[in-house]
Copies of this chain bind each other. A is one copy, B any other.
Amino acid sequence: MAAQPKQQTATASHRTPPVHTDPDEVSLETALLALADPVRQSLVRELAGAGDWERACGSFDVPVTKATLSRHFAVLREAGLLEQRDAGPKRLNRLRRAEFDARFPGLLDLVLRQDTTA
């Protein structure tokens, strides 16, 4: 965290800057719907296993194409589940764990506990 010469600005690589939604403005229905999808569950779990801003969008191991993956990230963003920041051509992610947990206590934990069993 020393003085770095503007490594990542606000809007960087893509047509549109990431649009974030605060967890406080998210309905329970939206949150449940976002977390119900298996692919998005994987994303959230992998994200939780890594540190903030450590993973770029393309670095996740899910069986979908880039286009679909991008859509899933948009859904998670709109559900207040993650924050994104552009760093060069990459888009880094952060799980909004504390904020989301404050809005929907216990919900994220359910997904992270991997209870996808039966």
A interface with B by C-beta (< 8 Å): 24-29, 32-33, 35-38, 41, 103-107, 109-111, 115-118
The 8 Å CB contact of A36, one of B24, B26, B32, B117, is B32
What are the 7 A-B residue pairs with the smallest beta carbon separation, nearest first? A106-B106, A32-B36, A32-B32, A25-B118, A33-B36, A28-B115, A29-B36
Interface of A is mostly: helix
A114 to chain B, nearest CB (A): 9
A16 to chain B, nearest CB (A): 23
* Complex contacts, A26 vs chain B, CB 8 Å: 118
* Complex contacts, A104 vs chain B, CB 8 Å: 110, 115
* Complex contacts, A110 vs chain B, CB 8 Å: 28, 104-107
- The residue in chain B whose Cβ has the minimal distance to the Cβ of A103 is B115
